[in-house]
Amino acid sequence: MTDRWFKIGLLVAPAFLITLVGGMAITLMWGASSSFQQAGWGFYTQLTWDPVHHVYGGGVFILGSVVTTLLALFLAIPIALAIGLFTGYYFTTGPIAVMSQWVLDLLASVPSVIFGFWGLMVMVPAVRHFEMLLGVAPYGVGLFSGAVVLATMMIPLTASLIRESVATVSLELKEGALALGATPLEVVRHIVWPISLPGIGSAIMLGFGRAIGETMAVTMVVGNANHLPTHLFDPTNTIASLIASEFGETSDPVVVAHLIHLGLILLVLSLAAGMLGRYIIRKQS
């Protein structure tokens, strides 16, 4: 008799989880409701965020988040690919493999705020120097700094995922190619690369999903300027940074609703990227 109750009791758990997620979504939507009513569809395209004149447009931040993340991806992907191949194909065992695993794990366990601290103290002055050489306004903070810090943080996760994808290409295929006289590079180009391509695509998607929600490090180096960047080194802002800096500060309930609304958009973007990433992997198998 207890066994039936045990099974029922256990199955309450997944029901609870599903309810929890539902509750999360409802909470956010309810929190953003006055923003929906007030702003309408224009919210997404309105490019001005001006608290003084009560003009609240989300466009800057949506674009800011997307552009910063894409730029970070652009910087991080080649490096993550290289490391993924390095650890997934060339050096899968031995001391070099162990050491690279340690390095990646260490990098992955560093909290975001410390990356931001380092970025602010070390990278931003360097970028400022560089900007002066270029003749651009030497803020130091801006789109580029944000993207670089974000890229650094993305590398461990993306590289690990790529490594997994590369490492699961079957040994027989690789050996078959080598037995035909191919060099390791050719094995990579003709066998490993095409086969692990979906996995790599998925890794990039998942990296995008994680990176777009990254808050602290980006907040500290992106400049917190509520306008679209006009050039690579221009200060700008992202959704997560805006929420981080404004949410606790503002007392205007409409602004709070707008911030939650932006949070929802961020959520949709992350979830979509995550689902796309998992879908790609599932389609492959």
Partner 1 sequence: MHSTMGTDAQLSRRVWQDRLFKLILVGVALGVVLLLTTIIGFVIKQGVSVINWSFFTQLPQPPGARYSGILNAILGTLMLTALASILSIPVGMWCGVAMAEHPLHPLVKWAQVSVDGIQSIPSILFGIMAYLWVVVPMGQFSAVAGAVALSMIMLPIVIRAVEEAVRRVPTTMREASLALGVSPFRTTIKVVIPCALNGILTGSLLGVSRISGETAPLLFTAFGSPFLVLSMFQPVQSMPILIYNYATSPYADWQQIGWGASLVLILFCFVLSVGTRWVFKR
| Nearest to partner 1 of 63, 85 (CB atom) | 85
Sign of the four-CA dihedral 176, 85, 203, 232: negative
**Measured CA distances, 155 to 94, 116, 224, 230, 233 (Å):** 22, 15, 24, 27, 22
Residue with Cβ nearer partner 1 (63 or 149): 149
For residue 48, the minimal CB distance to partner 1 (Å) is 23
Q: Which is nearer to partner 1, 38 or 100 (CB)?
A: 100
CA distances from 18 to 21, 82, 256, 277 (A): 5, 39, 27, 22
Paired with 236 in beta bridges are 223
For partner 1, which is the closer residue by CB, 107 or 225?
A: 107
Least distance (Å) between residue 125 CB and partner 1: 12
Q: Is 56 helix (H, G, I), strand (E, B) or coil?
A: strand
Torsion of CA 220, 225, 229, 235, to 10 degrees: -40
- Distance in Å, CB of 152 to partner 1, minimum: 7
Are the C-beta atoms of 208 and 122 separated by less than 8 Å?
A: no
Q: Which is nearer to partner 1, 7 or 283 (CB)?
A: 7
The least distance separating partner 1 from the CB of residue 179, rounded to whole angstroms, comes to: 12
Query: Shortest Cβ distance from residue 117 to partner 1 (Å)?
Result: 4
The amino acid at residue 54 is H
Contact 116, 220 (CB under 8 A): yes
